[in-house]
Amino acid sequence: MYKQTIYKQAITLLQDYLSSLGFQAQIHFELEGCYTTTQTNTKHKLDLTSINQQLNKLNIDGEIVNEYWRNQWEFVSLFNGQSPLEEADNLNQAMSVLPYIFAQYGIEKTLIKPVVWSGDKGKLAAGAKEIFTDETRAVHIPNAVQLNVSVLNNAGENIIAQHFFGECLQQCFLQTSKACSLLYLPEEDAFERLKLKSTYGLAAELCSPSDLSGGHQGSIALYKKHGKHNQMMGAEPVLYDHKHNVLLSRNNWQKTARIEHRLGASSPFYNPYINVLFALANVVDAIGIYQNRLCKSSLVSNSSPEALPSSLYTVNGQLGAIDLFSQDAWFSQCINSVQEKSSIIGITKALDYPLHLGDKIKQQYLDNYQSDRLITL
């Protein structure tokens, strides 16, 4: 299990600091996984209603839905007003209990893995998104952890939609995600997931991101008026007929505007707490720019996506994720800075936590990657 206490302390600190500035971050997870059963030829049907009732009884703000590939599922966070810390608790608990819940329905193995090798078969027809040919080549299924972020002000307004704040927050994530890739790509197979399209010729079947890119369709996407498939966002019914068919709707995209960080890999080593910290640290940076009315001027044109590291390890002079995180100071310094500012403005909890909290968190996380006990989170 994770050494969670110090992570929870830092999340609480950043939440309280943002609250003192008049803002509240909303963070939600989506986690993909697979399962195996003795029924290899047909898609096993889980009793999703019963499973989700069990999650509700455990006070987990999320539900299981079917995903695209055979025997693939997704845990989707519910919007129940939970804090970022509560959301980290939700995902941490879900990852722990889902294998036991699924086992009640004849599931032999629950796979929370970056890649399920030869998890399905098939090839999409040319130009199609749903129609498969008769070809039965193996498809290696990528499983992602997606992190969604929006920010409310004291009036309850989602400021992602205001004054270029969404673009500014997206830019912050683009600038910090490479150095912090160890947080959301915590094992070597996570980097194999990024290579699936190019290495195995699965570009038509897979839409998983492979680099750092922005816009509203990239790996770090900003959704305002339009979603991933250029659909209008935030559709809300306002008029029904006598059969409850929608006659009129409006697009309240300001309410649903968000950043989607789609680079994370499903893994038993994925730490929800430190990834919530990563998101909150980016929100803190973006709020500082926003309050100084510098969001628009802070935006930098980046036409070519930047490559992520190709491994945990440094190879032939190309820095791996471990060394990138070790050498970069942004993550730890942001937490240290918030702790210092919080103590000055009288957030009492800041005085109760260990000094240089950011440095301690960074070192504790890196300790998991010592060669003699690699990834024993």
Going by pLDDT thresholds of 50, 70 and 90, the confidence category of residue 210 is: confident
pTM of the model: 0.87
**How far apart are alpha carbons 209 and 193 in whole angstroms?**
9
* DSSP state, residue 309: P
Share of the chain above pLDDT 70, in %: 79
Going by pLDDT thresholds of 50, 70 and 90, the confidence category of residue 128 is: very low
Average pLDDT of span 170-191: 96
**pLDDT(239) > 70:** no
The closest alpha carbon to 314, from 325, 330, 306, belongs to 325
Residue 341 structure tokens: 């500012």
**pLDDT(10) > 70:** yes
Per-residue b or e along 1-22, where b marks 16 or more CB atoms closer than 10 Å to that residue's CB: ebebebbbbbbbbbbbbbeebe
As a whole number, the mean pLDDT across the chain is 84
**How far apart are alpha carbons 47 and 147 in whole angstroms?**
26
Average pLDDT of span 22-39: 91
**pLDDT(229) > 50:** no
11, 273 contact by CB (below 8 A): yes
**How far apart are alpha carbons 2 and 40 in whole angstroms?**
34
Go through the domains of the chain in sequence order and give each one's CATH number.
23-311 (3.30.590.10)
**How far apart are alpha carbons 340 and 14 in whole angstroms?**
11
Which of the two residues, 65 and 241, has the higher pLDDT score?
Answer: 65
**How far apart are alpha carbons 281 and 176 in whole angstroms?**
10
**In angstroms, how far is CA 233 from the centroid of its own chain?**
20
Cα dihedral 328, 332, 334, 340 sign: negative
**pLDDT(31) > 80:** yes
Going by pLDDT thresholds of 50, 70 and 90, the confidence category of residue 208 is: confident
Residue 103 structure tokens: 């086992």
Q: Which helix (H) or strand (E) covers residue 117, if one does?
A: strand 115-121
Long-range CB pairs of 321-327 (<8 Å, 24+ gap) are 321/181, 321/182, 321/185, 321/191, 322/182, 322/366, 322/369, 324/178, 324/179, 324/181, 324/182, 325/179, 325/180, 325/181, 325/182, 325/183, 325/362, 325/365, 325/366, 326/366, 327/179
**pLDDT(127) > 90:** no
Average pLDDT of span 241-253: 53
Could you write out the DSSP letters of every residue in 131-188? -B-S---EEEEE-EEEEEEEEEETTS-BGGGSTTHHHHHHHHHHHHTTTTHHHH--SH
Q: How many C-alpha atoms does 251 have within 13 Å on its Cβ side?
A: 10
